[in-house]
Chains A and B, each alone.
Chain A
Amino acid sequence: MANLPTGKPPGKDQSGLRYPSNGKTIYHRPLNRTKTAELSQASFAYLFSEMISYAQRRVTGIQDLEQRLNVQGHPLGLKLLDLLLIREPPRTQTRPLNIIALLHLIKINLWTHLFGRQADRLEKSSNPETPDEYMIVDNEPLVNAYISVPKEMSQLNCAAYVAGIIEGVCDGAGFPARVTAHSVGLQEGGGGDGGMWPGKTVFLVKFEAAVLEREALIGGKG
């Protein structure tokens, strides 16, 4: 072991984290370096599968499990908001100031960054009693590509993790919201094999009352 490059010996200010031998962490890398980088879907699938197994430990129910997945995604969203904005051209680097701009940022930039394509649809709730609800539709979420949820847990949608990321972006931009993921593929198709998109998922974004109030004051112009 003596001839292995050991890098910096763990200092007093470091926890047990590994430190690369040349001393350069990811914080030294240019932010645009990984802009077009791609990752293996298989390794993500295994990692995500382990994340779900981890979240499943000692949960009290499906709601609790979804909440845990949501919490795992939240910090990611907070950080991605900053990263995605800094990658914008300098003139449009401001954070979104109204709901529509924010949702477009999520639908286009966030989705392209995470999944390599845009989200399939963006809708506003048609119910007049819930003007604070918006829906982002993904026909086949990448995170659910290999997941079959057992019948006794049919309420569960593992895209709750992505909902957590969206929630992080909304919170980071100053639009506090609750985001939940719902499977709609099976109801909509009605057929035996669940229509064209059996994994169709709706991310329901429910903004807080204060956000709507502010939006009304500024007249949606930002």
Chain B
Amino acid sequence: MTVFALIIINKAGGLIYNKTFHEAGLNKVSTNDLLVLAGTFHGVHAITSKLNPVKPTPDRSSTASNSGLANRPEPPSGLEVLESENFRLQCFNTMTGTKFLLFTDTTQANVDVTIRKVYDLYSDYVMKNPFYQLEMPVRCDMFDRKLLSYIREINNR
């Protein structure tokens, strides 16, 4: 049960954060390759969310009394999990299109809970930081510190 690494991709497909937690886990990849991975994943995600089978839209006239918000369709989700023999990549896409990719052991449980907690930390320590510029690489000590202690707690469980 190990969390290997975290990658955050902004809504334009740029890599804004990457951190390896478990040195013995994944092989080292150059920053250039990570940037390519981020861009490629972003593209594949966009395409897979279009592949979503079309759901039958509810009849407009029968639900006219409802507000427009209630019958807005769920946004299509796109690629969520990528699995190999040795690791598993889980993607969490926020409402604004920022993507969190978590590389874990294939046996890791409750990855969606972990990834949501990481999103919590991101929205606290990155989005509420007045010195962070949107869509730019994340350089926040506080976020690093909280993230490391949270992941360490999970890896030692």
Chain A residues at the B interface, C-beta cutoff of 8 Å = 42, 45-46, 48-50, 52-53, 56, 146-150, 153, 158, 193, 198
Report the Cα distance A46→B125, complex, angstroms: 11
Report the Cα distance A198→B140, complex, angstroms: 14
Contact with A along B28-68 (1 / 0, CB 8 A): 00000000000000000000000000000000000000000
Q: Is the CB of A148 within 8 A of B128?
A: no
15 A-B pairs in the complex with CB atoms less than 8 angstroms apart: A42-B128, A45-B124, A46-B128, A49-B130, A52-B131, A146-B124, A146-B128, A146-B142, A147-B131, A148-B129, A148-B131, A148-B139, A148-B141, A148-B142, A153-B131
| CB-contact partner of B129 in A56, A147, A193, A198, under 8 A | A147
Counting chain A CB atoms within 10 Å of each CB, the highest count among B139, B142, B143 belongs to B142
Q: Which residue of B lies closest to A144 (CB)?
A: B142
Q: Which residue of A lies closest to B139 (CB)?
A: A150
In angstroms, how far is the closest chain B Cβ from the Cβ of A157?
A: 13
Residues of B within 8 A of A48 (CB): 130
Quick check: is B157 within 8 A (CB to CB) of the other chain?
no
Residues of A within 8 A of B145 (CB): 193, 198
Residues of A within 8 A of B139 (CB): 148, 150
**How many residues of B sit at the interface, in one of the four size bands?**
10 to 19
Apart from A42-B128, A56-B130, A147-B129: 13 A-B pairs, beta carbons within 8 A: A49-B128, A52-B131, A146-B124, A146-B125, A146-B129, A146-B142, A147-B128, A147-B130, A148-B131, A148-B140, A148-B142, A148-B143, A149-B131
Report the Cα distance A153→B131, complex, angstroms: 10
Q: Which residue of A lies closest to B149 (CB)?
A: A193
Report the Cα distance A46→B128, complex, angstroms: 6
Residues of A within 8 A of B130 (CB): 48-50, 52-53, 56, 147, 158
Report the Cα distance A147→B140, complex, angstroms: 8
Interface residues of B in 104-131 (CB under 8 A from A): 124-125, 128-131
In angstroms, how far is the closest chain A Cβ from the Cβ of B135?
A: 16
In angstroms, how far is the closest chain B Cβ from the Cβ of A47?
A: 10
Counting chain B CB atoms within 10 Å of each CB, the highest count among A42, A50, A146 belongs to A146
Residues of B within 8 A of A193 (CB): 145
In angstroms, how far is the closest chain A Cβ from the Cβ of B137?
A: 12
Q: Which residue of B lies closest to A146 (CB)?
A: B128
| CB-contact partner of B142 in A49, A147, A158, under 8 A | A147
Residues of B within 8 A of A56 (CB): 130
Residues of B within 8 A of A146 (CB): 124-125, 128-129, 142
Residues of B within 8 A of A153 (CB): 131
Residues of A within 8 A of B141 (CB): 148
Residues of A within 8 A of B129 (CB): 49, 146-148
Report the Cα distance A52→B143, complex, angstroms: 19
Report the Cα distance A45→B124, complex, angstroms: 9
